[in-house]
Amino acid sequence: MGKKVVKLLLLLVLIMSGTGTISNAKAATVKNNPLKTVSGTIKEDGKSVKNSLVLIQDKDNSKWIHTLTDGKGEFKSKLSDGTYSVKAFKGKNSPWFSVNEKFIVKKGKIKGLKEGEIDLSKKEKSKKPSTQSSNFNGVLKEGSKGLKANLIISKYDKEEIYTVSSIGNGSFSASLSDGNYYLFGIEEDGGFYRYTFEFTVENGKVLVEGVEQSNLFISIPTNAYSGKVADSISGLAGAEIVLEKSLSDDEYDTEYIQSTTTSKQGTFSLRALSDGTYSISVYHETYYSWNSVTFTIQNGIAYVNGVKTSSFQIKVPDLNVKGTVTDGKAPIGNSYITFEGQIAEGEYIGFSTPVDSKGNYQYRLPDGNYTVYSIDEQNRNTTVNIPFEIQDGKLLQNGVVVTNLKIVLPPVTFNGKIVDSGVPLQGAINIEKNLEDGNMEWYSAVTDENGLYSLRLTDGNYRVTGGYLFEEGQDVGLSAEFNIINSKLYVNGEERSILELQIPPVSVNGLVTEGDHALTSGSISVTSEDQSFYSWKNLNPDGTFTLRLADGNYKVMDVYLEDGTSASINQSFSIVDGKTYVNGELQEVLKISVPPVTVKGFLTQSGNPVIGYLYIMETNNAENPLEAWAYTNEEGKFQLRLPDGSYKVYEVYLNDGTTVSSDMEFKVESGQLYVNNEPAEGIQIEMPVTTIE
C-alpha cells in the first residue's frame, strides 16, 4: 500500500508552558547532506516577473531573503525545505508592490500551484504613511552626513509595504499603526541597499527588541569602491550592478547586499564592506553576466585574484547579435527573445532581451554556440529553434558571418476563449505537442483583457492539458485535442475559427475547521484519484473554499495553516453530475476537519537552539505508516499535528547540512502526548556535538 505522507511545518511563534525532556538522539550515523539550490520562476498573471528584486519570508523561522529574477523571471537561492511567502517585489523603474504568495520547498523543489512556478496575485502598491502625529521618527545618515532616501518597510501582519522618505538632512517621520514591521532596505535614485531590523508598534509606541524608541538612528556606509562596465568602445549606461556576499563555497549560497545603476559613462560606486568574499553581477537589456567579478575584502581593501584594486573594471562584449522579429510580413514588436547556449564544456547559460516596437533587437554574447528557443509576446509564447554561433565576437549562421539574425514566426493559427457558461474568463492554458521523433513541445497562452487567447502554432497534433484562472487562483482540469493543418484549426475533423474551452462549474463548496472554529487563513491541496490532476486553493477568511472539478474521483490531500503547520487529510470524495459525494452521500458542503496540535518540542545542541528538521514515522502501522516532517524555527521550537499512534524520530537534518540518526520514541493517545508512557507537555531533543565523516 502507498504511504500516507504528512507535510508538517513549524509554527512561527510557539509559546510552550512546559516540556518533557528526552535526550537520547545519537550520533551513530553522521552524513554530509548539503542543501540543494532552489530555482524557480516568478510570474504575475501568467507573465514572468523579469529583472526584479524580490523579498521572500521563511515562514518557519521568520528569516527574510532578498533575491533577484533574471530576464526570464527565474531566480536561484539556497533555501531549506519549508514554507515561504513572497512578500514584495520591485521591477526596474517601478514602485514596490506588496504580495503574500505562499509556496513550499520540498526536497529542493518549489511546490506551488505549478512545480517550479510562483504566480503572484493581489498585489498592492507601496504606501506613503501620514507624517501627522508621527511616532516613527529618526535620522538616516550616510557616514556622518544626512541622506535623502526612502526606507522600505513591510508590515507583515497586514501584507503592506510602506515607503518612508527622509529629507536632505536625513530626518524622517511617519505615523504607523500598531503591528509588526520589518525594515528591509534603503532605496535611493538608481540603487537599493540592504539594511534590516524588525520593530513593533504597540499602543502607538515604537519598540525595537522590546525597548521603546522615540528617535531612531540609522547609518549606512559611505561609498568606498568604484567600478566601470564598458565594451571596447564606450561605457555601458543603465546597467544594474548587483553585489552579493558569499556565505560558503557554494556559488548560490549568497546574501544580497546592494544594487546600483551605472552612469552614462558606465561607472558605479559601492558602499564600504566588511571582510569576506563578494561577487558582482551585471544586468542590462543587452547583456547579463552572473558573478562577473569575484573579490575579497581584507581590512577594507579589495583584492581580485589576490591583487589589490581600487576600481572594478568589467569588460563586456560589443553588440554582436542584431536582428528582427517578423511574421514574414510585419514586424512583431514589444516582445522578448530567449537564447540558450553553451559557452564552455558543461557550462550552459540562458539570456532574454527585449524587442522594440519595430521588431528590432540587439544583444552581447561571448563566444559560444547558441539557440534562439522562444519568443514571448504580450499574451503568448512561441517555441522556435534557430541555432547560431559567436566566434571571435562575430555572428555566424551555418558557418557564415551574418549581420542580421532574422527570426520569422508562423502566423497566429490558434484562437480561443476560456468560458463559464459562455462568459469569458481571465486565465492561462497549457498545451503539448507530440513530435514525430517521440519528443514533446509545450506551449502556454494567457488571455487578454477580452478573455481571448492565441498562439502561433505550426501544423501538427496538439492537446490542451490544463488551465489556470487568475481571479479564482486555481488550476482547472481542461482537456481538448485539435490539429493545425495548413495553418488552420481543426477540431474533430471540422475547421474552426476558435476553440472555446468550457471550464467545469463550481462543483465543490468546502469548509475547513479546527475544532468548532473555521480557519481564517491557509490553503488546501486536492488531487485526482489517478494523480493526473493536482490543485491548490487558498482559503477564504471564513474558512470556506470552492473548486471547479470535472466529474471523477478525488482526494483532499493536505491543509496548510498560516501558523506554519500542516495536516494530512486524505479524505476521498467524488464529483457526479457536478455535485459532491462522500461515500455515496450528497454533500452540500465538503467539511474538512483539521486535527489539533498534539506534539510540541525543542531541538537543541549544548543547550542552544538548533535550526533543522526531523523525520518521524509511525511505528504501529507497518503496512501503511504515516510519515511526518517537523521544522524548527530560530528558537529551536517545532510542533506537529499528529493523530493517535506510536511514533519514532528516525533522523534529524541540521541546517549545517549534516544528518544525525535518532531512536527517540513517543506516542499520542486521545490527543495527549506521552513520553516513556508518561504524559508530557512537550519533548526536547538534544543533539550531540558531531564530527562529519
Most confident of the ranges 37-46, 225-234, 339-348, 613-622: 225-234
Answer whether residue 371 is part of any domain: yes
Q: 431 and 397 share a domain? A: no
Q: 383 and 444 share a domain? A: no
Nearest to 514 by CA among 428, 592, 617, 585: 592
Q: 431 and 379 share a domain? A: no
Answer whether residue 652 is part of any domain: no
Q: CATH number for the domain including 441? A: 2.60.40.10
Tens digit of each residue's pLDDT (9 = 90 or more) over 650-679: 999 887 677 888 888 999 999 999 999 999
**pLDDT in the model for residue 447:** 92
Q: Cβ atoms within 10 A of the Cβ of 412, count?
A: 15
Is 90 exceeded by the pLDDT of residue 36?
no
Residues near 485 by Cβ (< 8 Å), separated by ≥ 6?
Answer: 459
Answer whether residue 670 is part of any domain: no
As a whole number of angstroms, the distance between CA 142 and CA 168 comes to 11
Query: Dihedrals φ, ψ of 130, to 5°?
Result: -65, 150
Is 50 exceeded by the pLDDT of residue 84?
yes
Q: Is 209 exposed, middle or buried (0-12, 13-18, 19+ CB in 10 A)?
A: exposed
Q: What is the mean pLDDT of residues 324-338?
A: 94
- Please count the residues of the chain: 693
Cell output for 600: 510540541
Nearest to 81 by CA among 602, 654, 686: 654
Q: 399 and 435 share a domain? A: no
Sorting pLDDT into bands at 50, 70 and 90, what band is 190? Answer: confident
**pLDDT in the model for residue 29:** 36
Sorting pLDDT into bands at 50, 70 and 90, what band is 232? Answer: very high
As a whole number of angstroms, the distance between CA 427 and CA 473 comes to 9
As a whole number of angstroms, the distance between CA 465 and CA 450 comes to 22
Answer whether residue 476 is part of any domain: yes
Sorting pLDDT into bands at 50, 70 and 90, what band is 60? Answer: low
Find out whether 9 and 83 touch, Cβ atoms under 8 Å: yes
Q: 404 and 333 share a domain? A: yes
DSSP state of 166: B
Q: Which of 463, 486, 509 is the last residue of a domain?
A: 486
Q: What is the mean pLDDT of residues 139-146?
A: 95
Sorting pLDDT into bands at 50, 70 and 90, what band is 552? Answer: very high
**pLDDT in the model for residue 150:** 96
Answer whether residue 451 is part of any domain: yes
Sorting pLDDT into bands at 50, 70 and 90, what band is 512? Answer: very high
Answer whether residue 554 is part of any domain: no
**pLDDT in the model for residue 13:** 25
Lowest-confidence region among 216-225, 383-392, 527-536: 527-536
Residue with grid cell 499520542, as numbered in its chain:
668
Using DSSP's 3-state secondary structure scheme, residue 352 falls into strand
Q: 345 and 391 share a domain? A: yes
Q: Which of 458, 486, 514 is the last residue of a domain?
A: 486
Q: Which of 464, 486, 508 is the last residue of a domain?
A: 486
Sorting pLDDT into bands at 50, 70 and 90, what band is 611? Answer: confident
For 222-353, where are the alpha helices, taking DSSP H only? none
Q: 334 and 388 share a domain? A: yes
Helices (H) and strands (E) in the chain, counts: 0, 72
Answer whether residue 396 is part of any domain: yes
Structural domain containing residue 457: 414-486
Is 70 exceeded by the pLDDT of residue 199?
yes
Q: 402 and 419 share a domain? A: no
Is 70 exceeded by the pLDDT of residue 112?
no
Give pTM, 2 decimals.
0.74
Q: 335 and 403 share a domain? A: yes
Q: What is the mean pLDDT of residues 172-177?
A: 96
Cα 365–Cα 368–Cα 369 angle in degrees, nearest 5: 110
Q: What is the mean pLDDT of residues 158-184?
A: 93
DSSP state of 13: S
Q: Cβ atoms within 10 A of the Cβ of 30, count?
A: 17
As a whole number of angstroms, the distance between CA 176 and CA 475 comes to 38
Higher pLDDT pick, 348 / 267: 267
Tens digit of each residue's pLDDT (9 = 90 or more) over 525-539: 999 988 888 888 889
As a whole number of angstroms, the distance between CA 219 and CA 193 comes to 11
Q: 339 and 404 share a domain? A: yes
Cell output for 585: 452521500
Tens digit of each residue's pLDDT (9 = 90 or more) over 439-450: 888 888 899 888
As a whole number of angstroms, the distance between CA 546 and CA 508 comes to 5
Is 50 exceeded by the pLDDT of residue 17?
no
Q: 454 and 476 share a domain? A: yes
Sorting pLDDT into bands at 50, 70 and 90, what band is 3? Answer: very low
As a whole number of angstroms, the distance between CA 443 and CA 433 comes to 8
Is 80 exceeded by the pLDDT of residue 61?
no
Find out whether 279 and 250 touch, Cβ atoms under 8 Å: no
Q: 382 and 363 share a domain? A: yes
Number of folded domains that form the chain: 2
Answer whether residue 605 is part of any domain: no
Is 80 exceeded by the pLDDT of residue 156?
no
**pLDDT in the model for residue 690:** 57
Find out whether 620 and 646 touch, Cβ atoms under 8 Å: yes
